[in-house]
Amino acid sequence: MVTLVILFVVVLLINLMPAFGPPTWMAMSWVGFNVPGGDPFLFALVAASAATLGRLILAIFARKLVRGRLMRDSDRQNIDVVRVWLERHRTLTIGAFFFYSLSPLPSNYLFIAYGLSGMPLRVIGAAFFVGRTVSYAIWAHFGRFVSTHVDPEVQLEGGYLSAYFVVTQLALLGLVYLLMKLDWKMLIEERKLAWRRSTRLPGQAGHGRTTDVE
């Protein structure tokens, strides 16, 4: 029971981090390796519950603080175009979240971007939970398998804060910013990539302007 509580708290804290958090699959592999007698599926359920809760809180944070207070009206209206498209393709959106959650790829930026759209979180949260349960169970099984073939005294090293990891996290957060600046109306309706710039005109508070980048 203590192991489950610790696992839940650790995974929750990891998934509350908007960036530079260690991958949860590392924690699942570690648990499977160091607690080979445990139930991998139970570990996966606990970790997936914590991960889903953490990511949903992160998305709510992005929606309440960034979208609600920090985003300009023009940026918010631009993101709303994406929201309308996602609502029209809800099945595709849910499926994308499910299949993405099966991978070991980071999901922090995905939930931040989704939170900025202002859409309901329950459905994609359920899809993420199911997908993460499956993937975490696989990693826990993998850790247990390795524990039977590797000397228990061997310390598995893995510094996640490598240059590659840091650059990747910065790039993904930069991608979220770029997604906010794309002219989504032009992209969806005209299939044309354009970059939205904000320019200040004399006597006006500022207007958005799209610049073709094709």
pLDDT greater at residue 45 or residue 145: 45
Q: Which of 12, 14, 7, 11 is nearest to 42 (CA)?
A: 7
Per-residue pLDDT tens digits for 79-137:
888 788 888 888 888 898 899 888 877 788 888 888 888 788 888 899 999 999 998 88
In this predicted structure, the answer to whether residue 199 has a pLDDT above a threshold of 60 is no
Lowest mean pLDDT among 5-9, 12-16, 69-73: 69-73
Region 63-70 average pLDDT? 76
pLDDT greater at residue 6 or residue 196: 6
Q: Environment class of residue 147 by beta-carbon count within 10 Å: exposed (0-12), middle (13-18) or buried (19+)?
A: middle
- How far apart (Å, rounded) are the C-alpha atoms in residues 196 and 142? 46
Other C-beta atoms lying within 10 Å of the C-beta of residue 23: 17
Q: What is the pLDDT of residue 8?
A: 92
What value does the mean pLDDT of the chain take? 76
Residue 140 token pair: 């826990």
Query: Domain residues of the chain, as ranges?
Result: 2-155
Dihedrals phi, psi of 210, to nearest 5 degrees: -95, 140
11-15, 109-113, 142-146, 161-165 — most confident range: 11-15
Other C-beta atoms lying within 10 Å of the C-beta of residue 4: 16
Q: What is the pLDDT of residue 202?
A: 42
Of the pLDDT bands very low, low, confident and very high (cuts 50, 70, 90), residue 163 is low
Per-residue pLDDT tens digits for 49-61:
999 999 999 999 8
Instruction: Please answer whether residues 55 and 107 qualify as being in contact, where contact means their C-beta atoms are separated by less than 8 angstroms.
Output: yes
22-31, 92-101, 150-159, 190-199 — most confident range: 92-101
Q: What is the pLDDT of residue 207?
A: 43
Instruction: Please answer whether residues 48 and 134 qualify as being in contact, where contact means their C-beta atoms are separated by less than 8 angstroms.
Output: no
Q: What is the pLDDT of residue 104?
A: 77
In this predicted structure, the answer to whether residue 161 has a pLDDT above a threshold of 80 is no
What share of the chain has pLDDT > 70, as a percent? 76
Region 152-167 average pLDDT? 52
List of residues 6+ apart from 25 with CB closer than 8 A = 104, 135, 136, 139
